[in-house]
Amino acid sequence: MSNLYDISVKTASFLNRELSEYKGKILLIVNTASRCGFTPQYNELEDLYRKYKSEGFEILAFPCNQFMNQEPGTNKEIQEFCSVNFNITFPIFDKIDVKGDNIHPLYSFLTSAKPGIFGSKRIKWNFTKFLVDREGNVVKRYAPITKPSKIEKDIVRMIRDN
């Protein structure tokens, strides 16, 4: 894939969604897990979403169970967990692979566009974050330890630059 907007994903209820629907939006794309030490980041993600959604900012969460079985639930269980524990209102999609032989095309695109430290394309853990501009360009990659609140300045800069 040479273009983010050519990629299709599945919602938690297994409906196809074209990423072209997000053209013109600033995106923060995150691989998530419900039983991870970084799971409390959902709070800050939701805060950012509520604060900037009206300015064209979207968060797209993709559950993944590839890191120590930290997302074993069904899509329905994941949705309920996020709703009950974090009052999440941004979209949480179908569970996917973010590395390996069955890597989803979205993560193949993201990791090729913005490799990690030392050029590594591999996702190393849950809550790796990618910031995408309104034209679909991956502008920054953040480590799992980077709290969403630390990304806010980059989001604000992108909103103001538009």
Quote the pLDDT of residue 121.
73
| Active site positions, annotated | 36
Instruction: For residue 16, give the H/E element and its range.
Output: strand 16-18
Give the burial class of 76: count Cβ atoms within 10 A of its Cβ; 0-12 exposed, 13-18 middle, 19 or more buried: exposed
pLDDT at 72: 92
Query: Which domain range does residue 106 map to?
Result: 4-160
Answer whether residue 53 shows pLDDT above 60.
Answer: yes
Checking if the pLDDT of 1 tops 60, the result is no
pLDDT band at 5 (very low <50, low <70, confident <90, very high): very high
Instruction: Specify the pLDDT at position 122.
Output: 73
pLDDT of residue 119: 64
Task: State the CATH number of the domain containing residue 70.
Answer: 3.40.30.10
Q: What is the residue-averaged pLDDT of the chain? A: 94
Q: Is the pLDDT of residue 155 over 80?
A: yes
Quote the CA–CA distance of 143 and 135 in Å, as a whole number.
23
Please give the pLDDT value at position 114: 78
How confident is the model at residue 2, as a pLDDT? 72
How far from the centroid of its chain's Cα atoms is residue 48's Cα? Answer: 13
For 158, the token pair is: 């992108």
| Helices assigned H by DSSP within 38-74 | 41-52
